Amino acid sequence: MAEKSIVVLISGSGSNLQAIIDAIASGQINGRIAAVLSNKADAYGLIRARTAGIPEIIISHKDYDSRESFDAAMIKAIDAYQPDLIVLAGFMRILTADFVRHYRGRMFNIHPSLLPKYKGLHTHQRALEAGDSQHGCTVHFVTEELDGGPLALQAPIDILATDTIESLQQRVHSAEHKIYPLAVEWFCAERLTLSVSGSVQLDGTTLAPEGYQFTQE
Ligand code: GRF
């Protein structure tokens, strides 16, 4: 099977980008990151890309007068690399329906909650305030709904009585670094797909709506 080409979109630290770079280097993922796109020139993730010898694309949303024109510029730059997969890794812009439709079935996002719970921001605080016994993170195929879309993988994490926002965030983040490379691995091996009807398939079997449940050993 041919190696897949991946474009990763970031706005910040890029620790998930790093986890994917490392998983490619170790041979876990049969793919290569063709480019990293950031909407912020000072994103630390760009330094990670540079260190790994990955081409960088910087497109600032501030240079565009509408979401449509910004997204159109991104599509043009991304498609120059003919990617099989788009990975949103802390990309902090809301995408237009046109952009999302263009990459249907080949764009992932990771979100720090057990979706469909806690879409949007401050997820750790919200889980703690609700007195939840579990929190976690989710990789999903991207659709037009913000933090929506069919769920591919989820890592549930027990909330401890002693947890603070920071401690919880830290454990969720390290779970992200496991499930995001795994989702990319499975996609690149053509094991994880989105069907025309919108269900997520792993090895030809439809997953439950909450996606594959990743449990820490
Ligand atoms: C992660 O918490 C992810 O769930 C969210 O943005 C954050 C990105 O972190 N979508 P990093 O830039 O990969 O360190």
Residue closest to 194 by CA, chosen among 117, 71, 107, 109: 107
Residue 62 alpha carbon to ligand 1 centre in Å: 22
Catalytic annotation present for 111: yes
Q: Which residue has the tokens 């730059």?
A: 77
Q: What is the pTM of this model?
A: 0.97
Domains of the chain and any CATH numbers = 4-115+135-155+172-213 (3.40.50.170)
> Do the Cβ atoms of 187 and 4 come closer than 8 Å?
yes
Residue range 63-119, pLDDT digits in tens: 999 999 999 999 999 999 999 999 999 999 999 999 999 999 999 999 999 999 999
What are 39-67's pLDDT values in tens digits? 999 999 999 999 999 999 999 999 999 99
Is residue 90 within 6 Å of ligand 1 at its C-beta?
yes
Task: Tell me which of 61, 102, 111, 135 is the catalytic residue.
Answer: 111
Report pLDDT for 144: 85
From the list 33, 82, 75, the residue with the least C-alpha distance to 54 is: 33
Residue-wise pLDDT for 127-173, tens only, equals: 999 999 999 999 999 988 878 899 999 999 999 999 999 999 999 99
- Out of 176, 178, 179, 180, mutate this one to test ligand 1's pocket (max ligand atoms within 8 Å of CB): namely 176
